[in-house]
Amino acid sequence: MAELLEIAKLGNSILRQIAQPVSNVTDATVQALINSLIATATSANGVGIAAPQVSQSYRLFILASRPNSRYPNAPLMEATAIINPKIVVHSDEVIKGWEGCLSVPGIRGLVPRSRAIAVEYYDRYGNLQRQEFTDFVARIFQHELDHLNGIVFLDRVESDRDLLTEEEYQRLLQNI
Ligand code: ZN
């Protein structure tokens, strides 16, 4: 059973640091961190989690989109470790969508993101992957990559009026 890790919250300086590249993907400590990140994201109903959010300042995050109580409309995908990622191409089209963050509990914000991205990353076996993501999964990827650069979603919200409490966000979902 993978260990559940404590999530750093807004105000913790680890969330504002530039994370360092992972040098040896297949190292046992990196593999254990990946397992713990997946278990922690799943347990917290997250659709992604970045290593700096558990106070490990490495360029590694988990994409784990699946429908849950925090994101009822999320597409289902297998939890995937994304290591030393790069966005190679951004679509010109930018759309705003609601985001939350395990490090910013209780708040949702409307965040502009590229609708589609082409990316490169290493998987947990050390293989280079090239992929394209669109819509919600592209949004998660951009949100998690920001964590590796010391950025949180609140930094990208264009107006305070684009912020909601979790309670009001859940009410909004009921009415869509
Ligand atoms: Zn986050």
Name the band, by pLDDT with cuts 50, 70 and 90, for residue 91: very high
Cα 86 to Cα 8, 34, 116, 144: the distances in Å are 24, 19, 14, 12
Tell whether 8 is covered by a domain: no
Tell whether 28 is covered by a domain: yes
Residue 147 CA, ligand 1 centroid: distance in Å: 7
Interval 119-125 mean pLDDT:
98
For the chain, how many structural domains are there in total?
A: 1
pTM: 0.95
Interval 24-52 mean pLDDT:
96
Tell whether 7 is covered by a domain: no
Residue 130 CA, ligand 1 centroid: distance in Å: 23
Residue 47 CA, ligand 1 centroid: distance in Å: 9
Q: How far apart are CA 56 and CA 53, in angstroms?
A: 7
144 is catalytic: yes
Residue 73 CA, ligand 1 centroid: distance in Å: 18
Residue 61, domain CATH: 3.90.45.10
Name the band, by pLDDT with cuts 50, 70 and 90, for residue 69: confident
Tell whether 108 is covered by a domain: yes
Tell whether 85 is covered by a domain: yes
Which of 120, 144, 158, 166 is catalytic? The answer is 144
Tell whether 6 is covered by a domain: no
Exposed/middle/buried for residue 130 (C-beta within 10 Å: 0-12, 13-18, 19+): exposed
Name the band, by pLDDT with cuts 50, 70 and 90, for residue 61: very high
Query: What is the pLDDT of the chain when averaged over all its residues?
Result: 95
Bridge-based pairing state of the strands 116-122 and 128-134: antiparallel
What is the pLDDT at residue 1?
Answer: 63
Q: Which domain holds residue 65?
A: 13-174
Q: Give pLDDT tens digits for 135-151.
A: 999 999 999 999 999 99
Tell whether 3 is covered by a domain: no
